[in-house]
């Protein structure tokens, strides 16, 4: 198994960077989607007052 992992040299730095970037994108998109849903829910038109 050690030979499969590069004989203990650790993971490829580019692969680690790719995983970090993808994780950050997923988290940011999730937060942005939740924020947009929150803003749209608050912006529903109010019913006009009936006399």
The pLDDT of residue 30 is 93
CA 48 to centroid of chain Cα atoms: 39
The pLDDT of residue 43 is 72
The pLDDT of residue 29 is 94
User: pLDDT by residue (tens digit) across 3-49?
Assistant: 555 555 677 889 999 999 999 999 999 999 999 898 888 876 666 66
The pLDDT of residue 44 is 66
The pLDDT of residue 45 is 63
CA end-to-end distance (rounded Å), the chain? 79
Are the CB atoms for 8 and 2 separated by under 8 Å? yes
């Amino acid at each position: 198994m050690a030979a499969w992992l590069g004989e203990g040299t650790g993971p490829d730095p580019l692969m680690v960077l790719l995983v970090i970037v993808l994780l950050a994108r997923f988290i940011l998109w999730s937060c942005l989607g939740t924020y947009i849903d929150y803003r749209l829910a608050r912006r529903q038109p109010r019913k006009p007052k009936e006399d």
